[in-house]
Amino acid sequence: MSFTKILIANRGEIALRVLRSAHALGYETVAVHSTADANARHVLEADAAVCIGEPLPRQSYLNIPAIIDAAKRSGSDAVHPGYGFLAENEDFAAACRDAGLVFIGPSPEAIKSMGDKAGAKAIMAAAGVPVIPGYQGEDQSADRLAAEAARIGWPVMIKATAGGGGRGMRRVDRAEDFAGLLQSAQSEALGAFGDATVILERALIAPRHIEIQVFADRHGNAVHLGERDCSVQRRHQKVIEEAPSPAVNADLRARMGEVAVKAVKAIGYEGAGTLEFLLDSEGAFFFMEMNTRLQVEHPVTELITGLDLVEWQLRVAAGEPLPLQQAQITFTGHAIEVRLCAEDPRAQFMPQSGRMLAWQMPEQGSDAIRVEHALRPGDEIPPYYDSMIAKLVAHGATRAESIRRLQRGLRNAVALGVATNQAFLQQCLAHPVFADGGATTAFIGDNQAALLDPLGAEGDAGLRKRVAAMAALLLHHSTGAAVASPLAHRLPTLQRFTLDGVAVSGALVQDGAHSFNSKLNGEEAKLDVVRHADRGAGGTSRLLVDGLAQTVTWARVDATLHLSVAGRAWRVYDLSRAIAQRGGESASDGKLRASMNGRVVAVQVAVGDVVAVGQPMVTLEAMKMEHVHAAPIAGRVTALHVSVGDQVGSHRVVAEVAAEGEAKSG
C-alpha cells in the first residue's frame, strides 16, 4: 500500500530518528506533541506538527483518538509509532487501519498475540522455542500467585503481562517478601499500562540478556540481523547494548536466529521485531518476550550491518519485499551503545528533570561515533516522559576499539544543569568485567560501589583538587558585573563552597594578568588562563592547573555553579555569599521532601498516623517509574502537603513527621 505523508506518533530523539529516514526517502512528515513539547526539536524539524493534548502521556502521546484526528487533519496517510508509547498497542494499530491509515508495523493481531507475555510464551512453546518455567494463568488472586511462586521456587520474577522497559517487574528472593512486591508490581503495571495482570517466572541467576533482531514482509520472507547483548541493566532497564555479543559464537548465533525466524513465520509477522532471550552460563537460551517494534538499541545493529532499519520498515509497510535475503546479510566490526539518562545514579538512579543549562554532544564526523538526541542548550527536560535523553553509539573494527571510541565520546559530552549518568557510563565501560566481555545482568548489582565512584574511571587523585581550584576561580568570576576579560579583576581573599557536597574553604589570590594561586583545604595550586570564553551565565575556559591544561565548560544559576571537566559534571554551591541557612535541611527535621519532579500517585498515610523509619508515606511517578518516599524519622504524621494527582517539584516538602515526644508536646 503506497503512502506519501507519515505522521510520527512519538517524541524526542525517537521522532527525529524516524524523520531522518523518512525524509531521505522523500516522504513528508507530521509531528505530534504535547503542550510540554511545543518547541521541541522534533516539532520544528517535521514538515508539519499538531498539538494532541496536555503533558501527561495519557492526555497526549497515549491518546489514540487525538492522534488519529491529527493524522486526518494533517492529511497523513501513514503512521509510524516509533518505539515506546503506543508502538505495541494493538488497539492503536487497529484504529489506524480502521481510519484508512497505513500502520508502519505489524498487524493488530500479531501485536496482540505477542504483546501479552503469557500468550506469547504459549505461542513460542508451541512453535518449539524454549521458554522459562513459570505461571501464566488467569487466576490472579494473591493466594494463587503466592502458591505458584512457591511451586516454581525462589527466586521468582514477577512480570506485568502488558509491560516493558522494566515496569511492573520485580524479583522476589524470599516468600515473606512476595506479597509486598506483588502489590508494588501490580500497581506500577496498572499505572503504566492500564493492566495489572502478571506472570511468574523462575529467575535465572546472572544470565545474559540476548535479543535477536528480525524482519519479515508480507510475501513470506523473514530474516534475522544477528544478536544484541543487553545484559548491562539497572532496575531491569537496559543501560548498555552491543553487537555482536561477547558470549555468542557463530554456531549459537545461527541457532538463535533460526529459532527467531521460525517464530515470526509461525505468526505471519510483518515488519521489525525483536525476540528477547535469557542465556545461561551453559549456553542454553530461553524465550522471554517479543517486542513488536523497533528497539531503542537498533543503531548497534545498523552499524555492524550497514543497513537503515527504519528504511526497511518503510519499504516493508509500502508492500516491498525485504531488501536482502539471509545469505546476503553480513556483519562487520563491533558496535556499542550507551543510554545517557537524566537520572542520579548516587540517588538510586532517581529520574531528574529541569533546565539543561549547557548541552554539547561529540561531533559525528564518521560512523565511528553516532549520537541520537533531541536537546538544545537551555531546553527543559519535562518530568512526564522516559529519562533517556541521548544515545551514544561507537563502531570499531574490534570490541576494544569500539569501547575506546565510546569512552572518548562520553568524555567530550557536556550535560550541565540536570544530573545524568554520564560518569556512571564511563565507569561501566572502564570496569574490567565489562572490558573483558564478562558482564551479565548481575553486573551493576555486583559492582555498584566501584561503578558509583566518581573518580574511579579517571584514576587521578588530583582531579578533585584541580576542579576545586577551577571552581574557586570561576565562582568569583561569575559573580562579577562588568568584568574585564580574561578574568582580570580583583578577587576576594576568602573562599567557601561545596564541591559535589564536600566542603571546600581557603583563599584565591591573583598573581598576574592571567595567573592565580589557590590554597583550598590546605592544598595549594597554581592556575593560568590559557583561553576564556564568557557567555554571561556560562562559558568555556581552558585552564592550566599545576601544569596540566584542561577544558572546563561552566554555567551559573544564583549560588550554584555547574562545571563539566574530564567527562563528568560537577556541582558547586557558593557559601561565600550565600545567606546562612537555618536548621531543618536534614532528614532529622522530619520533613519528607520530593526527590524529583513528579506526580503524586499514592498517599499511604494520614495526619495523626504513627509511622516507623522507612515506612512508605508518599509515592511519586516520574518518567514512567514509581518512587516510594518513606518516613525520614519515627513519629506521628503532623502534616500532609499533597494529594493524589498533584504535580510536585524536586525538594518540595510533601509531608512532615514529628518525633513522638515532640508531637505530644506540640
Prior bond of 377 cis (ω within 30°): no
- The radius of gyration computed from the CA coordinates of the chain, to the nearest angstrom, equals 26
CB atoms within 10 A of CB 531: 12
Query: Phi, psi at residue 117, to the nearest 5°?
Result: -60, -40
- Decide if 293 is catalytic: yes
Cell for 661?
515526644
Q: Which residues, in sequence order, are bridge partners of residue 561?
A: 556, 572
Taken in order 571, 575, 579, 583, the sign of the CA dihedral is: positive
Instruction: Give the number of other Cβ atoms within 10 Å of residue 419's Cβ.
Output: 22
- Positive or negative, the Cα torsion across 412, 417, 423, 424? negative
Q: All 3 cell numbers of residue 398?
A: 574490534
The torsion angles phi and psi of 270, rounded to 5 degrees, stand at -140, 130
Beta strands 222-234 and 354-355 are unpaired
Which residue type does 542 have? R
| Cβ proximity of 545 and 469 under 8 Å | yes
Number of C-beta neighbours around residue 576 at 10 A: 15
Contact 160, 167 (CB under 8 A): yes
Nearest to 61 by CA among 100, 97, 31, 41: 31
Structural contact between residues 236 and 169, judged by C-beta atoms closer than 8 angstroms: yes
User: In this structure, are residues 226 and 212 in contact, taking their beta carbons and an 8 Å threshold?
Assistant: yes
Considering the candidates 234, 293, 464, 556, report the single residue annotated as catalytic.
293
In sequence order, what are the beta bridge partners of 518? 508, 525
Tell me which long-range contacts 169-175 makes (C-beta under 8 A, separation of at least 24). Answer: 169/236, 171/203, 175/146, 175/149, 175/150
Considering only the C-alpha atoms of the chain, give the largest distance between any 2 of them, rounded to a whole number of Å: 80
Active site residues: 293
